[in-house]
Structure 1
Amino acid sequence: MNKSIVFKSLNKIGIVLTALTAIGFATTNSVSAASVTTLLQDDFNQENNGVANLATLNYTQFSNWNVINGSVDLIGNGYFDFLPGNGLYVDLDGSTFKAGTLQSKTTFNFQAGDTVNLSFQLAGNQRNNVIDPVTVSLGSLFSETFLLPEFQGFTTYTRSFSVASATSARLNFQETGADNIGLLLDNVTLTKSVPEPGSIMGILGFGAFGLTSLCKRKQQAAIKA
């Protein structure tokens, strides 16, 4: 068989294999190479120096939150502590017969391609046979209503979604009710993952380097033959 034909065949095979390898590495490592930023993390345990009392009913002095509608109560640590062992947490229907909306003080900025991860704990009101609703929202990116029965304990909910276009948003927990007894909220975490194109390009560059080396070796082998 003509040496040039053999060389060309081997060369084509090498190009395909090397390109597929480079793409595979880039795809596999694009997630692990993402930069994760914690935007908000709050367990409420530092509020009011870790103490709940009469003064934390209709509480408004949150470090990370504004109460923009109605009222909420900061409870726990032995005071109206319906689920002991969880530190401080928030009753989203305070003591004004008008349920509250807890909104993050920070407006978060997102870019197209970001992956947003939201985690929080909700529990039933622990006091009467009512299924309370709470709507959790992050601007136009996410909105979902949660309905929990009376004696459901703290349950962790996680949601992950991608950003299609640049936007800004605040995180909201909105209770609907008017009986001073609402769902309980704790342990809120919001993060975003941003891909690092430089890492992917580096992997593709490594693949290109391997391709060049492979072509040279095959060319030298064909000449010696």
Structure 2
Amino acid sequence: MFVKQIAIAATILCAASAQAATVFSDNFDSDVLVLNSTSFLGGWTVSAGTVDTIGPGLYDVFPGNGHYIDLDGSTGSAGLFSKSLSAVAGTTYTVSFDLAGNHRGYGNDTVAVNFGSASGSYVLSSSDAFATQTLTFTALGSGLVSLSFQNGGGDNVGALLDNVAIAAVPEPSTYAMLLGGLGLLGVAARRRQG
């Protein structure tokens, strides 16, 4: 009976620990609406150009979505929108983010996204609605990794970005150690019964 209880506890612990933990999220709703944004509460930086924080009251081209980022600011030079975070070796990280077309009739936008060792390129037509995308990588070493978004245009109208979230799942060896320890408890319990 005791061994069965340990097996049930192990299953519950593994299921709970297998859940990804959110390490960062930003929907930009707390950021000030402004063209050529330079200050972001989520710790983002902009280099080599500009981005705009738009939404209700300032070029709200996609009503009902709060604040969001126009990845091709208002200077004719799309900025590199990026954020650094600390990664732990062996941990798998997944970033999810919503991308939409520019919704201003300016044709297609191509957005290059880099996250640690993962990268993706997304082509969006002007009328594309927000859709969630994901990228995943496993950190080979501990240290800073970068998440960046770069719109390929330079026409002051870019793809739209919203709801960025990063989650981490511990390395599989953590689960192996947990199961090994629980197995030893089961063996000890069986010896006590016998």
Shorter-chain-normalised TM-score: which range? 0.7 to 0.9
1:38 aligns with 2:22: yes
Counterpart among 68, 73, 78 of residue 52 in structure 2: 73
1:34 and 1:195 in contact (8 A); partners too: no
1:57 aligns with 2:35: yes
| Residue correspondence of structure 1 range 105-184 to structure 2 within 5 A | 107-139=84-116, 141-184=117-160
* SS class of match (2:46): strand
* SS class of match (1:170): strand
Gaps of 5+ in 2: none
Give the drift of 1:33.
1.8
Instruction: Provide the rounded CA distance (Å) in 1 between the counterparts of 2:57 and 2:37.
Output: 17
Q: What's the counterpart of residue 79 of structure 2?
A: 100
Q: Which range is displaced more, 129-138 or 147-156?
A: 129-138
Instruction: Provide the rounded CA distance (Å) in 1 between the counterparts of 2:173 and 2:67.
Output: 41
Give the drift of 1:60.
1.0
Instruction: Provide the rounded CA distance (Å) in 1 between the counterparts of 2:18 and 2:184.
Output: 22
Give the drift of 1:91.
0.7
Question: Identity, % of aligned pairs?
Answer: 37
Give CA deviations for 1:95-149 in whole Å, capped at 9, x if unaligned. 1111111111xx322223201020111100111252111111123x211111111
Give the AA of the match of 1:185: L
Give the drift of 1:211.
2.6
Q: What's the counterpart of residue 10 of structure 1?
A: none
* SS class of match (1:58): coil
Give the drift of 1:201.
4.0
Larger radius of gyration: 1
Instruction: Provide the rounded CA distance (Å) in 2 between the counterparts of 1:157 and 1:130.
Output: 20
Give the drift of 1:46.
0.9
Instruction: Provide the rounded CA distance (Å) in 1 between the counterparts of 2:185 and 2:67.
Output: 56
* SS class of match (1:164): coil
Give CA deviations for 1:25-81 in whole Å, capped at 9, x if unaligned. 868854632585433211111112xxx3xxx11111222211112111111113211
| Residue correspondence of structure 1 range 13-28 to structure 2 within 5 A | none
TM-score by length of 1: 0.72
Number of residue pairs the alignment of both structures matches: 189
1:45 and 1:89 in contact (8 A); partners too: yes
* SS class of match (2:74): coil
| Residue correspondence of structure 1 range 2-21 to structure 2 within 5 A | none
- Point out the structure with the larger helix share: 1
1:84 aligns with 2:60: no
Instruction: Provide the rounded CA distance (Å) in 2 between the counterparts of 1:30 and 1:113.
Output: 18
Instruction: Provide the rounded CA distance (Å) in 1 between the counterparts of 2:174 and 2:103.
Output: 51
Residues 1:57 and 1:206: Cα distance change in structure 2 (over 3 Å): closer
